[in-house]
């Protein structure tokens, strides 16, 4: 039987075999599953097939290397090494008799990480297009006067402070009602935190004019949580227009692509909202100006038209007055002529009345004449009475009753 090896001897053997079998350094790609910085940077690296981990290994960046590599990586990507980031690194392999197998990272290529983020972004956008929801929020009509604003951000984020400062201190004195839906803006839990904030906005949708998501600037890797299918889906189904202001002008994330509008910074988001309100106010001022001047112009035109009508009316009235004066003059002349005729007829009537008065039996009786009646009928001839008839003779004063004894008639020519 072969002599048994102690565990220590076995690990020394493994160490010697590994060190002899591998080059001094080599290039490796992997995703960071965990990152713990305690002077040295301790990493857990994984290789995934979709969501399945098919390989895992510990790695370390010693303190003297970590400060330099971390600074270069942040300057290029704008982010710290963190969970979920894919990296291309140069490393040597080491095996410690007590602590086991480990990769010693000596260099990192930040351009690979940036490229990986671009690929991931492209895949998410293609999925959103395939599902027909990529432009869903863009199709919502942006409000004319956005005043009730839901804000997804961290309360301590510089971007949130910039946004609120510009909204509150706007030079026009506009008042906005803002509600913060607090969320993590970076790190492992940022994606789920932002989705949760959008869910709360969905609940309050009827009380919001617009929702903005803001944070300070950052590099492309630092903004990777916003290259999220779940966040994009939450935005797509929110019935309120979303303004994205999560990065600088050069950083375009999936969130930027699906939002109703995009501004390069939180300050620009505030300016966009303020400008929208100012544009509406300007349109109202223009409408007011057009209304006032249009009314003045219409009033002036109507005044001129009324003046012309007044002149025409005055001329017509004057003409009518002249015509009426002429007709009245003719009428007066006719009336005077008629009065003369009436006076003349009056004189004729007086003359006839005098003649009639002369013929009045009562006046005739005054002159000594009398009227004799036989049986109530005036008689003019003796032949109208017979002997024995009782006659009544009317005098100017009084009457006589007589009886006919005999009559005497005379012949007339």
* 64-122 residue pLDDT tens: 999 999 999 888 876 778 888 889 999 988 888 888 889 999 999 988 887 777 778 88
pLDDT category at 247 given cuts 50, 70, 90 is low
Whether 39 contacts 63, CB under 8 Å: yes
Nearest in space to 211 (alpha carbons), one of 191, 185, 239: 239
Same domain, 184 and 273: yes
- Whether 290 shows a pLDDT value over 90: the answer reads no
CA 5, CA 11: separation in Å to the nearest integer?
10
Domain of residue 176, CATH code:
3.40.50.280
Q: What is the 3-state secondary structure (H, E, C) of the chain?
A: CCCCCCHHHHHHHHHHHHHHHCCCCEEEEEEEEEEEEECEEEEEEEEEECCEEEEEEEEEECHHHHHHHHHHHHHHHCCCCCCCCEEEEEEEEEEECCCEEEEEEEEEEHHHHHHHHHHHHHHHHHHHHHCCCCCCCCCCCCCCCCCEEEEEECCCCHHHHHHHHHHHCCCCCCCCEEEEEECCCCCCCHHHHHHHHHHHHHHCHHHCCEEEEECCCCCCHHHHHHCCHHHHHHHHCCCCCEEEECCCCCCCCHHHHHCCEECCCHHHHHHHHHHHHHHHHHHHHHHHHHHHHHHHHHHHHHHHHHHHHHHHHHHHHHHHHHHHHHHHHHHHHHHHHHHHHHHHHHHHHHHHHHHHHHHCHHHHHHCCCCEEEECCEECCCHHHCCCCCEEEEECCCCEEEEECCCCCCCCCC
CA 392, CA 174: separation in Å to the nearest integer?
125
CA 219, CA 188: separation in Å to the nearest integer?
16
Same domain, 108 and 210: no
Q: Residue 172 sits in which domain range?
A: 142-278
356 versus 8: the higher-pLDDT residue is 8
pLDDT category at 158 given cuts 50, 70, 90 is confident
345 assigned to some structural domain: no
318 assigned to some structural domain: no
CA 69, CA 107: separation in Å to the nearest integer?
7
270 assigned to some structural domain: yes
Q: What are phi and psi of 410, to 5 degrees?
A: -125, 145
Whether 197 contacts 215, CB under 8 Å: no
153 assigned to some structural domain: yes
353 assigned to some structural domain: no
129 versus 356: the higher-pLDDT residue is 129
304 assigned to some structural domain: no
Task: Using the structure block, give the residue that is written with the tokens 């992997």.
Answer: 30
Q: How many domains does the chain have?
A: 3
Same domain, 39 and 167: no
Nearest in space to 102 (alpha carbons), one of 29, 45, 36: 45
State pLDDT tens for residues 358-380.
666 666 666 777 888 888 888 88
Nearest in space to 174 (alpha carbons), one of 280, 290, 289: 280
Same domain, 273 and 187: yes
Residue range 406-412: mean pLDDT, rounded = 74
| Tally of CB atoms within 10 A around 267 | 16
Q: What are phi and psi of 389, to 5 degrees?
A: -70, 145
**Which token pair is 368?**
């000594």
Same domain, 115 and 147: no
pLDDT category at 280 given cuts 50, 70, 90 is very high
**Which token pair is 315?**
């001329």
Nearest in space to 198 (alpha carbons), one of 245, 240, 135: 240
pLDDT category at 166 given cuts 50, 70, 90 is very high
pLDDT category at 42 given cuts 50, 70, 90 is very high
pLDDT category at 250 given cuts 50, 70, 90 is low
pLDDT category at 20 given cuts 50, 70, 90 is confident
Whether 93 contacts 60, CB under 8 Å: no
Provide, rounded to the nearest whole percent, the portion of the chain with pLDDT above 90.
Answer: 41
CA 188, CA 223: separation in Å to the nearest integer?
12
pLDDT on residue 362: 67
251 versus 386: the higher-pLDDT residue is 386
pLDDT category at 297 given cuts 50, 70, 90 is confident
Mean pLDDT of the chain: 87
Same domain, 20 and 101: yes
216 assigned to some structural domain: yes
Same domain, 165 and 261: yes
Same domain, 109 and 153: no
Among 53, 88, 120, the domain-final residue is 120
Same domain, 157 and 74: no
Same domain, 152 and 230: yes
How far is residue 204 from each of residues 185, 199, 380, measured CA to CA in Å?
21, 9, 130
Give Dmax (Cα) for the chain. Answer: 217
pLDDT category at 2 given cuts 50, 70, 90 is low
Same domain, 168 and 92: no
Residue range 176-191: mean pLDDT, rounded = 89
pLDDT on residue 181: 96
330 assigned to some structural domain: no
């Amino acid at each position: 039987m072969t002599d048994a090896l102690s565990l220590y001897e076995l690990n020394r053997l493994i160490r010697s075999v590994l060190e002899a079998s591998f080059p001094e350094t080599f290039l490796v790609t992997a995703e960071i599953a965990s990152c713990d910085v305690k002077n040295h940077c301790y990493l857990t690296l994984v290789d995934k097939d979709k969501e399945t981990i098919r390989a895992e290994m510990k790695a370390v960046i010693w303190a003297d290397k970590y400060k330099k590599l971390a600074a270069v990586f942040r300057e290029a990507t704008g982010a710290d090494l963190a969970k979920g980031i894919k990296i291309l690194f140069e490393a040597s392999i080491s095996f410690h008799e007590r602590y086991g197998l480990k990769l010693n990272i000596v260099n990192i290529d930040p351009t690979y990480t940036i490229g990986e983020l671009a690929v991931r972004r492209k895949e998410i956008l293609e999925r959103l297009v395939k599902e027909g929801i990529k432009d869903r929020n863009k199709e919502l009509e942006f409000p004319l006067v956005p005043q009730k604003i839901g804000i997804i951000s961290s309360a301590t984020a510089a971007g949130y402070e910039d946004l609120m400062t510009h909204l509150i201190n706007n030079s026009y004195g506009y008042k906005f009602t803002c509600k913060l839906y607090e969320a993590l803006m970076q790190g492992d839990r940022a994606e789920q935190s932002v989705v949760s904030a959008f869910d709360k906005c969905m609940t309050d949708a009827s009380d919001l004019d617009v929702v903005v998501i803001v944070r300070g600037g950052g590099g492309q890797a630092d903004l990777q949580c916003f290259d999220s299918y779940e966040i994009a889906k939450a935005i797509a189904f929110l019935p309120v227009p979303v303004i994205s202001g999560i990065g600088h002008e050069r950083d375009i994330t999936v969130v930027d692509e699906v939002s109703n509008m995009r501004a390069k910074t939180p300050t620009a988001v505030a300016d966009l909202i303020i400008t929208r309100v100012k544009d509406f106010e300007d349109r109202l001022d223009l409408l007011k100006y057009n209304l006032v001047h249009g009314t003045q112009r219409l009033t002036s035109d109507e005044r001129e038209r009324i003046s012309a009508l007044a002149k025409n009316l005055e001329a017509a009235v004057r003409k009518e007055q002249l015509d009426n004066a002429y007709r009245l003059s003719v009428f007066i002349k006719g009336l005077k002529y008629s009065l003369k005729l009436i006076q003349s007829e009056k004189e004729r009537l007086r003359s006839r009345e005098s003649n009639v008065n002369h013929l009045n039996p009562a006046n005739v009786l005054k002159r000594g004449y009398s009227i004799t009646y036989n049986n109530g009928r005036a008689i003019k001839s003796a032949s109208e009475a017979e002997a024995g008839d009782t006659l009544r003779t009317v005098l100017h004063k009084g009457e006589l009753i007589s009886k006919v004894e005999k009559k005497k008639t005379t012949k007339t020519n």
